Structure 1
Amino acid sequence: MSTPESSVVAGRLADLGHTNLFHLLDKARRDYADRPAFSCGAESLTFNQLHEHADAFARYLRHGAGLQPGDRLAIQLPNLLQYVVSIFGAFKAGLVIVNTNPQYTAPETRHQFRDSGARAVVVLDRLVPLVRSIQQDTCIERLIVTSVDDWGNPQEEAGAEDETRFMAALRLGRTLPEVEPQRGLDDLAVLQYTGGTTGVSKGAMLTHRNLLSNVLQAVSILSPGEVEYGNEVRVSPLPLYHVFAFTANCLASVFTGFNSVLITNPRDLDGMIADMRRHRITLFTGINSLFVALMAHPEFDTVDFSNVKWVNSGGAPLNLAVARRWQERTGNVIREGFGMTETSPVVIAATANTPYREGYIGQAILDTELKIVDDEGNELPPGEPGELLIRGPQVMAGYWQRPEATAETFTPDGWLKSGDIGVIDEDGFLKLVDRKKDMILVSGFNVYPNDVEDAVMRHPGIRECVAVGIPDERKGEAIKLYVSLHDQNLTEADIIAHCREQLTGYKVPSFIEIRDDLPKSSVGKLLRRVLRDEARAQAGA
């Protein structure tokens, strides 16, 4: 939870003089000026333009919206140019970002807004009715509304007194007084929501130091001459509200001067293939399910991969067979990594300079310590499986307003308990064996069984249920739901339809099994592990 002053990362941070994430963009504007920073569809912003817009937005947030340093600003957008303007404007205004999935349902959004105490939200126009339906249960005072096509077809007329159109906010901001970043390295920058086996979503408190450190750690794996700062084009289909893409494809790309090509809807594979053809791509960030989907597209082989220098996978385990097929089709090796929301997120990465070891993810990045311990907290020798513990400057400050959960997650000497069971070999390479927690990882998104089960149990016809994860080549893991019924007329289709009303898409179970009874312990506790092991065995895991 602290950064040793003697660490390499702390020294590099001191040399840069950065004390706030906005300083990343400040430096990038000086270094890369009129080179493209972010592209989205037919539109793009240079580093100069991004800086200008972020400055105007910061002025609006402080002087127009009346937000003060430390206030929380929720951002509920897909990958759009408005997203990057919003976050850098918020950093300059001294606000704390609350990244919010635009696919969330009303209950999911309500919890995140209410828990964070967000006073304002930057939101897509089509999501305004959702925000209105929960607003009275939150602290949201102002909606800053944008449309997907705002850059090409700007709209400025608001629909209500407490609404401001995004483009109008930029125009107004240019007329308002200057603001200066007032947050320091150890101030809160982002509340990135994760979850737990209890199903309660928690805000990981990521400071400016945490995120700046992880940017420096992430770029340290690139060898001199391997990429050229200011002259690479990175395709960014992973959503920026996800912590991996937020750090790697947004913050780190600004630091390195890369042009990030934002994919607003990665499910639109036709559009994504067209974007990949439009640019001379040199870097690609993906996830197992996306690699599978792209390779199945009939036009995939028409994309030019000859200039690609680096392909990386993060957010979910990479299937070995998928990686091999990708290399055969494109000539590119996929480099895998590992991280957590609580670690900003990158912890481990495979690089071009480390030997490939099948089944192992890679080695710890700069200034990151790992160890494997038994249930009593005793460190285990190389090759012995146990819980993975992590320590480094990227590790969060704790969970927002949850001191007990924070205390449970850290050891007294500051090691983060990952909840993952792993093995570290004598050379420091990590292999993940299992998860101590029951979390399910669907296409890079954490799904917590109780979250799904709570939604399912809102149906009066369902008696009991248990959600487990099973291996899935495309998604990494899929959700299987076991249920017993009050209403014997309920069908699997009925249960899926109910889930779709209560849960965002990736949380909806892929498989339903109806049983007369579900296994329980002697005290009546549902035995999730028994069902998970049975489901995995049936799936051939």
Structure 2
Amino acid sequence: MVKGEEQMSAFPTMPTIPKDRPWLNAYERYGISATIDMPEDETSLLEVFERNFRRYGQKPAYICMGASITFKQLDLYSRQIASYLQSLGLVKGDKVGVMMPNILQYPIVGLGIIRAGMVLVNVNPLYTSRELAHQIDDSGVKVLFIVENFAKTYQDAKAKAPVDHVIVCKLGDMLGTVKGTVVNLVARHIKKMIPSYQLPESTNFKEALNAVSASKYKRPDLNLSDVALLQYTGGTTGVAKGAMLSHGNLVANMLQISALMDSAFDDDANADDVILTALPLYHVFSFMVCGMYGMYQGYAGLLIPNPRDLDGLIKEMAKYKPSFIPAVNTLFNGLVNKDSFAELDFSNLKAAIGGGTSVLPSVAKQWHKITGLPIVEGYGLSETSPVVAFNPMTIAEFTGKIGIPASSTDIVLIDDDENEVAIGERGEICVKGPQVMVGYQNRPDETAESFTAHGYLKTGDIGIMDEKGFIKIVDRKKDMILVSGFNVYPNEIEEIMSEHPAVKECGAIGIPSDQRGEDPKIFVVKKSDVTEKELLDFGKKNLTGYKRPRHVQFVDELPKSNVGKILRKELRKMEGLD
């Protein structure tokens, strides 16, 4: 039995949604289909990929550092990788890790793994050797594709977690002979981006790509219940867990996003659309929205290997004029604070999509002012492929809410006893839909604990639903601050304090207080000079007594995950609390 196989369930279930759910009227109002039509159970992502290759052939599928590959080339290269993996003796369901940033090799390898009938395991390239060893051991990865910049990490991890086959990629491998050589030389000798490593048993990517003819590819027998992706959670609440996402989960979420987008955009007008792929594809938000859905629509994915280089990112945006910009608050915030961003031509821009973490209203306001379009926020998590809810694409203003449930998705908000709360009351957001994971790899007990008695996935996020079915995230259960018996939610403090013109960004936690149990404390990155007293007075003016910050600490930067989430656990460590 394959590791984790005992958790696998049948095909994705379509929930029966009660007719009195308040968001059903919103579907009708905004022209969003209330349901999706799933394909036959014996189909899989392979049919989706093959449809793309036939339909979009000569169109660019991905662009990176000035080079591009067409859908036809993506078809060929991914079949070559699939053939190579099959030639190694791997079988259906075996795990293959991919540890690389947004470069052309990622979609080639990712599709190749799935086309071979194997399970793609996304690995964060910035993992430490300890984190990598855990993920390799937990997932049972047999093959690892890794960019040489991070090969030293695997070298240090392999004693604890060896894999059978390692394929090392260079940044310039798919950029052409001349440009690729230059990029590789610059990365190694000028920018010094590649620590010395020794992996004599490894294969280089070009050798693997050309080792076996695409004609040797054997199309596997797959269906919607087969696992396609092992997506590890961020690990910010403990040991990272692998969410098993099936072909059906991913197909369902693709169709759910399509139902939203089709309500606002003419499919025939997408011929030359570019989707900015600055968020890393190893993160589930980018993997689905930029990768899977982008390919499904025939968009050209503009791959950005290093989104922290905002000047380089803005130059790429100026050159390719993306129609769709999925991003997290950190990226939106970084862009609106760059003068060169405001000088861009936004005439091609159709939508800016926020996810991964809450977008601050102050950032959304600046974005709208500069680009002329609001940020449309959605919500999801690794366990749900990831999209759970979204705002309609035709909204005129940023709502500060995560929107309404995706098509064919039921959401309930519950109290600690799993009773549904009334409209307007706080409760834990719980989800049922065809995009909800099969379970956690190797963790049947934790899988069972993650669902309510009625089969809803418990997200751990606290929300409020209004009478129209729109949901606002209040916070995570675990981050709640208890002040004199009152629940205080850090998101609310962060949103308000970020409105101060001198605050670039801030993070809030609770610290012990003899008088009140806990006091809110904020860690602030300044945009301009400001004193602690000024910020405390601002909080006093804008927040109820028990919610206002009592302590301020100025920092140069906030600890964040690689997709821009503020790591409150790390803030608590800085305070000596964890």
TM-score, with normalisation over the residues of structure 2? 0.75
Distance across 2 between alignment mates of 1:71 and 1:235: 31
Alpha carbons 1:349, 1:364 under 8 Å: kept: yes
Give the drift of 1:478: 4.0
Give the counterpart letter for 1:118 in structure 2: V
Change (3 A) 1:383 1:40: same
Paired amino acid for 1:77: M
| Mapping for residues 281-360 of structure 1, pairs under 5 Å | 281-353=322-394, 358-360=399-401
Structure 1 312/136 Cα, relative in aligned 2: closer, same or farther at 3 Å?
Answer: same
How many correspondences in the alignment?
Answer: 471
Corresponding letter in the other structure for 1:218: I
Tell which deviates more after alignment, 474-483 or 146-155: 474-483
Q: Does 1:405 align with 2:452?
A: no
Residue equivalent to 1:426: 467
Question: Does structure 2 conserve the Cα–Cα contact (< 8 Å) formed by 1:339 and 1:348?
Answer: yes
Task: Give distance in 1, aligned partners of 2:307 and 2:13.
Answer: 37
Which residue is 1:72 aligned to? 95
Q: Deviations over 1:456-504 (max 9, x none)?
A: xxxxxxxxxxxx9983859976487989xxxxxxxxxxxx9xx99xx99
Look up the SS of the partner of 2:478 in the other structure.
coil
Comparing 81-90 with 191-200, greater Cα deviation is found at 191-200
Cα displacement (A) at 1:142 = 1.0
The separation in 2 between residues aligned to 1:244 and 1:475, in whole angstroms, is 25
1:361 counterpart residue number: 402
Aligned to 2:525: none
In the alignment, what sits opposite 1:50? 74
Equivalent residue for 2:203, pick from 145, 160, 164: 164
1:125 aligns with 2:148: yes
Match of 1:4 among 7, 14, 20: 14
Q: Does 1:14 align with 2:55?
A: no
Deviates further, 192-201 or 361-370: 192-201
Distance change in 2, residues 1:257/1:113 (3 Å): same
Are 1:39 and 1:45, in contact at CA under 8 Å, matched by a contact in 2? yes
Superposed CA deviations along residues 131-155 of structure 1, whole A, max 9, x for unmatched, are: 0111122241111110111123468
Residue 161 of structure 1 deviates from its aligned partner by 5.0
Q: Cα offset for 1:22?
A: 2.9
- 8 Å CA contact retained: 2:101, 2:305: yes
2-structure distance, mates of 1:332, 1:166: 41
Distance 1:270 1:71, change over 3 A: same
Instruction: Specify the code of the residue in structure 1 equivalent to 2:409.
Output: T
Measure, in 1, the Cα distance between the counterparts of 2:393 and 2:228.
32
SS at match of 2:39: helix
C-alpha distance in structure 1 between counterparts of 2:573 and 2:227, whole Å = 42
Question: Matches of 1:46 and 1:349 in 2, distance apart?
Answer: 31
| C-alpha distance in structure 2 between counterparts of 1:238 and 1:303, whole Å | 20
Query: Which residue does 1:113 correspond to in 2?
Result: 136
Matched, 1:33 2:57: yes
Inter-partner Cα distance in structure 2 for 1:201 and 1:230? 39
TM superposition shift of 1:355: 7.4
In structure 1, how many angstroms separate the alpha carbons of the residues matched to 2:44 and 2:436? 17
Amino acid at match of 2:322: I
Aligned with 2:257 (options 218, 233, 237): 218
Q: Which residue of 1 aligns with 2:535?
A: none
Letter in 1 for 2:352: V
Question: Match of 1:425, as an amino acid?
Answer: D
The match for 1:250 among 257, 277, 291 is 291
- How much does 1:434 deviate? 2.0
Q: Post-superposition shift, 1:358?
A: 3.6
C-alpha distance 246-26 of structure 1, shift in aligned 2 (>3 A): same
Counterparts in 2 of 1:386 and 1:504: CA distance versus 1, 3 Å:
closer
- Aligned CA RMSD, in angstroms, stands at 3.2
Deviations 1:184-215 (A, max 9, x none): 21011111111567512111111110011001
Asked whether the equivalents of residues 197 and 438 of structure 1 are also in contact (C-alpha less than 8 Å), the reply is no
Give the Cα–Cα distance (whole angstroms) in 2 for the partners of residues 5 and 378 of structure 1. 19
Name the stretch that deviates more: 131-140 or 18-27. Answer: 18-27
Equivalent-residue separation in structure 2 for 1:328 and 1:241 (angstroms): 31
Question: Offset at 1:89?
Answer: 0.2
Structure 1 residues 175 and 471 mapped into 2: Cα distance closer, same or farther (>3 Å)? same
- Per the TM alignment, residue 129 of structure 1 is displaced from its structure 2 partner at its CA by 1.7
Per the alignment, residue 232 of structure 1 pairs with 273
Residue 266 of structure 1 is matched in structure 2 by 307
Match of 1:464 in 2: none
Alignment partner of 1:181 out of 200, 205, 220: 220
2:123 to 97, 100, 113: 100
Alignment CA distance shift 1:439-1:269 (3 Å): farther
Residues 59/348 of structure 1: CA separation in 2 closer, same or farther (3 Å cut) = same
Give the drift of 1:176. 6.4
Identity of aligned residues (%): 37
Distance across 2 between alignment mates of 1:356 and 1:514? 38
Q: Secondary structure, in 3 states, of the residue corresponding to 1:220?
A: helix
Distance of 2:110 and 2:505 partners within structure 1: 30
Q: Residue type of the partner of 2:85?
A: L
Does 356-365 or 328-337 show the bigger shift?
A: 356-365
